[in-house]
Amino acid sequence: MEVIKTEIEGVVIIEPRIFKDERGYFYESFSQREFEEKVLKTTFVQDNQSKSSYGVVRGLHFQKPPHCQSKLVRCIKGAVLDVAVDIRKGSPTFGKYVAVELTEENHRQFFVPRGFAHGFAVLSEEAVFQYKCDNFYCKESEGAVAWNDPEIGIDWQIPSSDVLLSEKDRQNKNINEAEYLFDYNEELY
């Protein structure tokens, strides 16, 4: 696998080696050993999958300590714009984000470390999205930032009139009003 660094330290894009022939393709989608050697020593303990239609925006979500999570995500059907936002107060990249298009054709994966809010927008008619998480979900530790916070300024690549949100995501506050944010100096691993 090739690890592509982004503008924000710790947030990386992963491109697998794909072997194609007349039968189709094969690739190793995850190797714990290679991930630890090239990205971060962590153990994924929970896999999640979602199916969404065009215009759905999920996010920007995170889990507060002691249940904070890193996520390794990919789109196995369709296309999404995936986003990681630095929500670590005091970080030189606080409030900045990295966005990457993940598709069933490019097979890219995106690593979102602890201390970041995560979300995605569905760009195709339908998308099936998979998450690997390094901590178990805990409802009491849910946190979120508004998907359309003007301070962050994410271009979700879909008209706002087409955005479909959960009721809960309609209530999320902007980054400067959020009830909880991480501290850049806090040890998260």
Percent of the chain with pLDDT over 90: 99
Q: Where are the alpha helices (DSSP H) in 39-178?
A: 167-170
User: Is 61 an annotated catalytic residue?
Assistant: yes
Taking the C-alpha atoms of residue 12 and residue 151, their distance in angstroms, rounded to an integer, is 23
CA–CA separation, 98 vs 130, rounded Å? Answer: 18
Both tokens of residue 91?
């970080």
- Residue 52, in any domain of the structure: yes
For the beta carbon of residue 61, count every other beta carbon within 10 angstroms.
18
From the list 124, 136, 131, 4, the residue with the least C-alpha distance to 59 is: 131
Assigned domain for 19 exists: yes
Say what the pLDDT of residue 155 is: 97
> What's the full length of the chain, in residues?
189
Q: Which of 61, 97, 107, 118 is catalytic?
A: 61
107 is catalytic: no
Quote the domain boundaries for residue 93: 2-181
CATH at 171: 2.60.120.10
- pLDDT attached to residue 34: 95
Asked if residue 164 is part of any domain, the answer here is yes
- Mean pLDDT value across the chain: 97
Could you tell me if residue 22 is inside a domain?
A: yes
Please choose, from the candidates 96, 89, 87, the residue with its C-alpha nearest in 3D space to the C-alpha of residue 68: 87
Taking only the tens place, the pLDDT of each residue in 53-87 is 999 999 999 999 999 999 999 999 999 999 999 99
Q: Residue 189 falls within a domain, yes or no?
A: no
Tell me how far CA of residue 35 lies from CA of 99, 109, 126, 177, in angstroms. 21, 12, 29, 35
The model's pLDDT over 119-174, given as tens digits with 9 standing for 90+, comes to 999 999 999 999 999 999 999 999 999 999 999 999 999 999 999 999 999 999 99
* Angle formed at CA 98 by CA 188 and CA 85, multiple of 5 degrees: 45
Residue 53 lies in a domain: yes
Q: Which of 97, 107, 118, 131 is catalytic?
A: 131
Average pLDDT over residues 100-106: 97
Task: Give domain status of residue 91, yes or no.
Answer: yes
Provide the edge-to-edge strand list for the sheet that holds 142-144.
97-103, 79-86, 116-122, 57-63, 142-144
How many CA atoms within 13 Å lie on the side-chain side of 78?
21
- Domain assignment present for residue 188? The answer is no
Read off the pLDDT of each residue in 91-102 and give the average, rounded to a whole number.
98
Number of domains in the chain: 1
Which helix (H) or strand (E) segment holds residue 36: the answer is: helix 32-38
DSSP string over 70-136 = -EEEEEEESEEEEEEEE-EET-TTTT-EEEEEEETTT--EEEE-TTEEEEEEE-SSEEEEEEEESS-
Task: Give pLDDT, residue 31.
Answer: 94
